[in-house]
Amino acid sequence: MDIMNITINKRGIEDCGSFSFPVRFGTYHQVESRDFVLHFTPSWRLIYAQSKERWWPDPNEWIKIGLSGTPVYYSSLFYGDMASLFGQHYIPIPRILSFELFNENPFLDLKLMGFLKKLEKLDELFGNNSEFIEIKNGLLRWKRFYDLELSKILKARVTILPPDSFICDYQVLPVIISTGCTKNCGFCEVKDGTEFALRSDEEIKKQVLQLRGVLDKELDQFRGIFLGTLDALKAPEDKIFYSIRLGKKLLPRIKNFFLFGSPEALLEKDMTFFRALNRLKVNIYINIGLESMDEKTLYLIKKPFLKNRLKEIWEYCTNINKNFDRIEISLNILMNRNFPRTHLETLLYFLKNEGAFPKGPIFLSPFREPIDRKFFETAKIIKRATKRPIKPYTLVPL
């Protein structure tokens, strides 16, 4: 294989944030040939890949390989709207949902599919050349991790990551504190159908220690911990505090914690809980699956909701965002042009009447329709109604 250059221990940025250009975190290795550019972790786990051949659409576009080995395509389509509306240079396109997210589906491109197949057999491309033996051994080692070890450690299926973790480019460690979901909503495409169940403190600690052991040389890459899975906020307060303190103790470099929460779980936690959470001196990002402020729409998508309490939920989220500097509550809102007109009208009403308050992103998630010009036109209407950050959410996997 014609290797042009191998650069060891390049340094990425330290702080999380929203960027309008590609970023890397921590220390990474770069391997560049005539045909591609590859970025690896210090123990040679592939994390980003880009072809240098003429067919590659844009130098800002990359393949991102997550901790589960799942590829996500970072598309710069609609770059002008992405940068001005959302403050980032790409839309992450998960392979499993790409058929409904984009009319121009990158995973239907035969050249891209050929490139992905080459990445799957990358260890073979490096051959038996002793110069590349460390890279090849690393690739084989991480194949075993994806295929066998990760599922044994987590003992859970992590379908998606919280949208807030985009600020760390989805470089987060999963710590499973509960599995299943309390509602299993009709519209949901990521539920596993199991009942909500808690992990014991011993199970959580064992999981963290195993992850830390396996990922020892990788830890510099991670900027957050995902307390999973789909409704960790439903867990008892002492379970949440234990998990965060454990993460702080065993992984002291990590300062950001991300978790999902249902509206019901949010209302079950009083302000005393959030005061104590704020005193832990880490950054807490809680994403609430609100989906709509319109009862008619919630009924249509078969999402159980607290009737006549939507206003209370909205105001509670706003109150938490205003009063706690270490906690940020974000809201998911589904996007579909066939929803009742009141879906958008009620959202705009609440945004326009909450005053100037920039904290707490609104994540717009396309629901069974593609991201296209219509999506961005609606996003612009929502953006004009608020000073909050507005972001796209495309269900990025682990």
Predicted local confidence at residue 90, as pLDDT: 83
Asked if 358 and 388 count as a contact pair (C-beta separation under 8 A), the reply is yes
- In this structure, are strands 197-198 and 178-179 parallel, antiparallel, or unpaired? antiparallel
Sorted by where each starts, the structural domains of the chain and their CATH numbers stand as 3-137 (no CATH), 155-392 (3.20.20.70)
Predicted local confidence at residue 184, as pLDDT: 63
Tally of CB atoms within 10 A around 136? 19
Q: Which parts of the chain fold into alpha helices (H)? A: 79-81, 98-101, 110-120, 122-125, 133-144, 150-154, 201-214, 237-250, 263-268, 271-278, 295-300, 310-323, 341-352, 373-384
User: How many helices (H) and strands (E) are present in the chain, helices listed first?
Assistant: 14, 16
Predicted local confidence at residue 188, as pLDDT: 61
The total number of residues written for the chain in this structure: 398
Cα 384–chain centre separation: 25
User: Which tens digit of pLDDT belongs to each residue from 226-283?
Assistant: 998 889 999 999 999 999 999 999 999 899 999 999 999 999 999 999 999 999 999 9
Predicted local confidence at residue 80, as pLDDT: 60
pTM for the predicted model, two decimal places: 0.94
Asked if 91 and 379 count as a contact pair (C-beta separation under 8 A), the reply is no
Percent of the chain whose pLDDT exceeds 90: 62
Tally of CB atoms within 10 A around 32? 16
Predicted local confidence at residue 68, as pLDDT: 94
